[in-house]
Amino acid sequence: MRAKAAAGATAADNDKLSALLGSAPALAMVVHPDGRLELPDRLADWIGLSPPPRFLADMVTPGAGLTSEDAVTLNDAVTAAQKAGEPFALAIRPQGSSRTLTVQGQRAAGGVVVWFFDATESQARIGELLGQTAQLTDAFGALKGLIEAAPLPMWYRGPDLRLAMVNSAYVRAVEGRDARDVVGRGIELIEGSGVGGPLANAGRARDTDRPSIANAPATIEGARKMLRIHDVPLPTPPGGVAGFAIDIEELEQARGGIKRFADAQRAMLDRLSAGVAQFAADRTLTFCNEPFIRMFAMRGEWLADRPEFDRVLERMREAKRLPEVRDFPGWKAERRDWFLAATGTIEESWTLSGGSHLRVVGHPLPDGGLLLIFEDRTEQVQLASARDTLLRVRTATFDNLFEAIGVFAGDGRLQIWNNRFRQIWGFDEEFLATHPRIDALVGERSAMLASPSRASVIAELVRSAAVGRTQRGGRVAFADGRHYEFAGVPLPDGNALFTMLDISDSRRAEQALRDRNEALEAADRIKTAFVANMSYELRTPLTSIQGFAEMMGEGYAGKLPKQADGYVDAILESTARLAALVDDVLDLAESEREIELQDVDLETLAAAAAESVAPAAKRKSIDFAIEVAPSTGMVKGDPKKLREMTEHLLRHAVAGVGEKGRVLLHTDGDEKRARIVVSDDGAGMDEAAVARAFDPFAEPAVQDDSRALGLGLPLAKQFAEAHGGTIQLLSEPGAGTLITVELPR
């Protein structure tokens, strides 16, 4: 019973082992010590042999079984296992099959058990993994090279946040020897510790498992720079935090410059006279300048809430600073479309109640916003209206001027003309509307001139005014007897003004006056010659009368009675007066002759003139004073005429004062001129007498027998002016007379 039970158990175990072997992923082949093979049919099918081979040498057949190389390798491995007990493992590929078999063998019970595993799928997967491994290796190498060549510092921190790897840029930034030295010493790129330290940003990235960005200053290559630190957590494994730093110093400086520019721009906009408002893409007000606030009566606290575009328009409407429109919602919607305008700048004019005019410019911004500019053009519109009125007034004035006017451009073309211009030259309005050149104009009408060659003079004058910017003028005579005075005047705008004035009447009057003047000059010459001849003729009888009277007074004709002596004295006195008058008349007639200049001592001259007048002053008991200042000096002149001038002034003063009056002769001077002053305390002269004092043909200002003709002052004036000097008379009734003569040195 026991044997039967054992046999049954053995059979059960055998069945169990057979089931295990049948379902096992590997198939076993037993190689006995004598070289015989024991293998299942399934394994023979894997190898591609049927029936199963009996010996190892039978595993190689033409076109099937193992390859010669694999068979030799397997035989050597089995032999080594039999002799030395060395296990083995190898891979073989049967001929003509895509199957890959993994072979593992070891010695057992004197033989060798060789297990065959179907590794076809595993080998394919291994090949794929090997390929991926090669790709990842290449990518890792490229990534490592990229990180190493990157110009910005990059690093890797382990889970404990200690530096584990740095690139060359990091080493250069911290001035380390190499990456190993920097990692070994734990040199941080950012100084400091705590909240603002280099580990704070990395710890935040590790703890939140999200990238963290922070700005921090650092000293790199001796320069202080602002860096933007990026810390990125890595998945586990390996975990840790990767980081890199970007130099944003220029960006910060640019941002600061942009902010300063924006502040300066806003300050400048506040100083503009135009109102400026800027809206963001969400149509809220982001900026407005002071002129905008004043122009639309906005409150600062209301603008601080950044009102929307529609609300701003409504507030402007409440302030009556929008045009009156019937459909305000539609009008507002049209202006809202300015934010999306594709045509660029929009411009329109608003006419407000009260007569104000606004020029509105809308400019869509690249960020979707809108810039509005409001310019108050009320004054410009009023000025334009006034200008239009002035232009109409000017046109009406031009057309009604007696003077002909034409305005020519720089190229010589006629731009503006009046009716008088067209009438004088006889042009048609249609011809002038073509704006002909000046050459064509004068060439068309040169036959109208008395001298046709004068036409070129007119053309040259216009060119000189337009191009040369010089003002010139002249006269032209027409063939019909008309005379015109013309001129070319350069205008500030670069054009030239040409004017023509009819002077025919004045030319005839001028000719008549010229003829009359010539007749008067001829008469004056005849009169002067007559006076001179008469004066010379008068000298002969006067000389005879004076001579015979002197002889009678000396007793050549016998002794005269005492009464006769008085008659002789009267005759001599009268002849002396008449001789003086004849001399004055001769001087007056010869006053226009040139004088001979020589050095004249005014002190000596004044003394000689005073000596000649002293007897007359003594007869009237006049207080005759002479004052000669040291500055009197010398002048260039005719000593005879200057002495006669001084004597005439003194005689006029002596004749004008009564008994025991006072006469003063005063002389002085400076570097440029000398002065002779004669004054008296006589009765003086009224305005009418002063006005005709120097007129040789007027009624004498002093009624005295000795000065009946009153030629003294006219002669004194003529002598003074002949020397380039001046004479001035000041007098009032009861206040005496003051006469001042100034002579150039």
DSSP string, 255-282: HHHHHHHHHHHHHHHHHSSSEEEEE-TT
pLDDT attached to residue 23: 58
What are the residues facing 629 on neighbouring strands?
none
Q: Right CATH number for 255-381 from 3.40.50.300, 3.40.1030.10, 3.30.450.20, 3.40.50.2300?
A: 3.30.450.20
Instruction: Round to whole Å and give the CA distance between 429 and 39.
Output: 131
pLDDT of 739 > 90? The answer is yes
> What's the pLDDT score for residue 518?
81
Which of 354, 347, 358 is closest to 381 using CA atoms?
A: 358
H helix or E strand, kind and range, residue 720: helix 712-722
Which H or E element spans position 551?
helix 504-554
pLDDT band at 709 (very low <50, low <70, confident <90, very high): very low
DSSP 8-state code for residue 448: G
Is the model more confident about 144 or about 188?
188
Please check whether residue 218 is in contact with residue 227, taking contact to mean a CB–CB distance below 8 angstroms: yes
**370 Cβ contact partners less than 8 Å away, ≥ 6 residues apart:** 278, 279, 283, 309, 338, 339, 362, 363, 364
Q: Which of 680, 696, 695 is nearest to 730 (CA)?
A: 680
* Cβ pair 464, 470 in contact under 8 A: yes
According to the model, what pLDDT value does residue 699 have?
56
CATH class of 150-247: alpha beta
Please compute the mean of the pLDDT values over residues 503-514 and round it to a whole number: 81
- Residue 241 burial (C-beta neighbours within 10 Å; 0-12, 13-18, 19+): buried
Q: Note whether 150-247 and 255-381 share their fold.
A: yes
Distance of alpha carbon 745 from alpha carbon 670, whole angstroms: 9
The neighbour count for residue 480, using CB atoms within 10 Å, is 8
Alpha helices in 215-363 (DSSP H): 249-271, 290-295, 300-303, 309-318, 328-336
Say how far apart CA 666 and CA 151 lie, in whole Å.
Answer: 105
Question: What is the arithmetic mean of pLDDT over 141-158?
Answer: 83
Averaged pLDDT for residues 644-655: 88
Residue entry with tokens 């008296």: 680
Mean of pLDDT over the chain: 81
Distance, CA of 329 to CA of 224 (rounded, Å): 57
- Rounded average pLDDT over 312-319: 88
For every residue of 672-707, DSSP letters joined together read SEEEEEEEE-SS---HHHHHTTT-TTSPPSS--GGG
Classify residue 40 as exposed, middle or buried by CB count within 10 Å of its CB (0-12, 13-18, 19+): middle
User: Across residues 444-462, what is the average pLDDT?
Assistant: 86
3-class DSSP assignment, residue 31 = strand
The CATH number fitting domain 401-494, selected from 3.40.50, 2.40.128, 3.30.70, 3.30.450: 3.30.450
pLDDT on residue 539: 65
pLDDT at 703: 45
Grouping H, G, I as helix, E, B as strand and the rest as coil, residue 288 is strand
Distance of alpha carbon 24 from alpha carbon 13, whole angstroms: 16
Which residue in 692, 712, 720 sits closest to 585, CA to CA? Answer: 712
- ω before 744 within 30° of 0 (cis)? no
DSSP state of 631: T
- φ, ψ at 592 (rounded to 5°): -85, -5
CA dihedral 422, 423, 428, 429 (to 10 degrees): 50
Residue 236 per-residue DSSP state = T
CB 209 within 8 A of CB 232: no
Distance CA(729)–CA(737), nearest Å, equals: 7
Per-residue model confidence as pLDDT tens digits over 460-492: 888 888 888 888 888 888 888 888 888 889 988
At 251-303, the pLDDT tens digits run: 877 777 778 877 777 777 777 778 888 899 899 998 888 888 888 888 888 88
**CATH architecture of residue range(s) 595-744:** 2-Layer Sandwich (3.30)
CATH topology of domain 20-118: Beta-Lactamase (3.30.450)
Cross-strand pairs, 287: 278
Select from 46, 43, 8, 38 the least CA-distant residue to 22. 43
Question: What would the mean pLDDT of 36-52 be, rounded to a whole number?
Answer: 81
pLDDT tens across 419-432, in order? Answer: 888 888 888 888 88
What phi-psi label fits residue 40: left (phi over 0), alpha (psi between -120 and 50 degrees) or beta? Answer: beta
Q: Work out the percent of the chain whose per-residue pLDDT is above 70.
A: 86
How do beta strands 346-351 and 414-417 pair?
unpaired
- Length of the chain (residues): 745
Give the DSSP letter string of 362-407.
EEE-TTS-EEEEEEE-HHHHHHHHHHHHHHHHHHHHHHH-SSEEEE
Q: What is the pLDDT of residues 363-401, one digit of tens each?
A: 888 888 898 889 888 888 888 888 888 878 877 777 777
Nearest to 425 by CA among 331, 359, 500, 360: 500
Q: 624: which residues sit within 8 A by CB, 6+ positions away?
A: 610, 613, 614, 617, 618, 654, 663, 665
Angstrom distance (rounded) from CA 309 to CA 470: 59
The SS3 call for residue 54 is coil
Mean per-residue pLDDT, 28-48: 83
- Evaluate whether 372 touches 362 at the Cβ level (below 8 Å): yes
**Per-residue pLDDT at 742 exceeds 90:** yes
Domain ranges of the chain: 20-118, 150-247, 255-381, 401-494, 503-590, 595-744
∠ CA 516-518-521 to the nearest 5 degrees? 110
Task: Tell me the CATH number of domain 503-590, given options 3.40.720, 1.10.287, 1.10.3470, 1.10.10.
Answer: 1.10.287
Tokens in use for 155?
């690093």
The reported pLDDT for the residue numbered 706 is 38
**Burial, 488: exposed, middle or buried (Cβ in 10 Å; 0-12, 13-18, 19+)?**
buried
Express each pLDDT in 682-706 by its tens digit.
888 888 888 888 877 665 544 443 3
Chain centre distance of CA 467: 27
